[in-house]
């Protein structure tokens, strides 16, 4: 192994491809936003998303009659990648290790930090650089008063989206809703919520997703319902790193503690392309 592969000789650079790939896979598997939203790759910091707003019409016509022209309507929302960074402290002993070994040890910490920041920004707009987030995009008429009857509230929220001729493909709820879901019964006393299985937990044949990244903001919504194909995440390939030795991280002075830290940076984009595709149940008073 040559010296050029050691952290001490490479204080900044690209995270090794195999580690970066693992981190991205971990984010995709851990992040509720990545599981449920539409995901597209980005080859530059901006990406235009051509979308049909009106598919036009087909026309019945008699033999020899002129065929009418069908005009399609298009919209062009733009996805813009923003830089997301995480800083992971490590001991100075690792200074003598290879870049690969250090990254291998901290890759889960990188994934966890990225996942939490992505989910909280996309769902609630928490510390977000993006101009849209799902809760912030919900139209006032699609915010359902919390009646305390979760099944009926979800049904009412779904109806707001279906009224716009869209199909609800997911429900997002906090971990605290599990107890309520277990007690829901139909008129015959049968469980209304289908737990686990190959299709996951469902209500009204719609999957329920519960974020594990502890990002839920109870002050903004008790549940979110939507056609999540209308919320798009863009990912730019590659993760870069930089070694820090004089910074203060989370109140910890690295120099005083004889520590170093690695700052890892990646770029993501996000856009809600149709606010009519989402509804929420307001927090319970």
Domain layout of the chain by residue ranges: 3-50+75-281
Predicted pLDDT at 73: 53
12-61 pLDDT per residue, tens: 999 999 999 999 999 989 999 999 999 999 988 898 876 655 555 566 66
Strand-strand pairing, 206-209 and 170-172:
parallel
Q: Are the beta carbons of 225 and 161 closer than 8 angstroms?
A: yes
Above 90 in pLDDT, residue 68?
Answer: no
Share of residues in the chain with pLDDT > 70 (%):
88
- Cβ distance 228 to 169 under 8 Å? yes
The CATH fold assigned to 3-50+75-281 is phage-related protein like fold (3.90.1690)
Helix (H, G, I), strand (E, B), or coil: what is residue 225? strand
Tally of CB atoms within 10 A around 133: 20
pLDDT digits (tens, 9 = 90+) for 272-283: 999 999 999 999
Instruction: Please write the tens of the pLDDT for every residue from 179-226.
Output: 888 888 888 887 888 776 555 788 888 999 999 878 999 999 999 999
Return the number of other C-beta atoms located less than 10 Å from residue 257's C-beta: 12
CB of 47 closer than 8 Å to CB of 78: yes
Determine the pLDDT at residue 58: 63
Can you tell me the distance from the alpha carbon of 93 to that of 31, in angstroms, rounded to the nearest whole number? 32
């Amino acid at each position: 192994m040559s010296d050029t592969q050691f952290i001490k000789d490479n204080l900044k650079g690209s995270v090794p491809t195999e580690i970066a790939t693992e981190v991205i896979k971990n984010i995709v598997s851990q992040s509720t936003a990545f599981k449920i939203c539409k995901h597209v790759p980005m080859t530059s910091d901006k990406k235009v998303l051509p979308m049909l707003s009106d598919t036009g019409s087909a026309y019945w016509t008699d033999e020899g009659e002129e065929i009418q022209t069908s005009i399609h309507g298009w919209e062009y929302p733009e996805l813009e990648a923003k830089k997301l960074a995480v800083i992971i402290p490590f001991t100075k002993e690792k200074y003598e290790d290879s870049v690969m070994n250090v990254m291998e040890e901290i890759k889960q910490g990188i994934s966890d930090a990225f996942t939490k920041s992505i989910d909280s920004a996309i769902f609630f707009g928490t510390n977000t650089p993006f101009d849209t987030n799902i809760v912030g995009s919900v139209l006032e008429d699609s915010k359902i008063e919390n009646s305390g009857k979760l099944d009926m509230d979800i049904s009412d929220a779904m109806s707001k989206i279906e009224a716009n001729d869209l199909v609800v493909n997911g429900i997002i709820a906090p971990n605290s809703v599990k107890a309520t879901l277990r007690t829901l019964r139909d008129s015959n006393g049968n469980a209304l919520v289908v737990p686990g299985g190959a299709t996951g937990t469902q209500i009204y044949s719609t999957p329920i997703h519960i974020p594990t990244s502890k990002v839920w903001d109870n002050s903004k919504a008790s549940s979110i319902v939507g056609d999540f194909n209308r919320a798009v995440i863009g990912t730019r390939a590659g993760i870069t790193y930089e070694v820090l030795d004089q910074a203060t991280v989370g109140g910890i002075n690295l120099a005083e503690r004889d520590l170093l830290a690695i700052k890892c940076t990646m770029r993501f984009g996000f856009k809600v392309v149709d606010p009519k595709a989402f509804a929420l149940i307001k927090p319970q008073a």
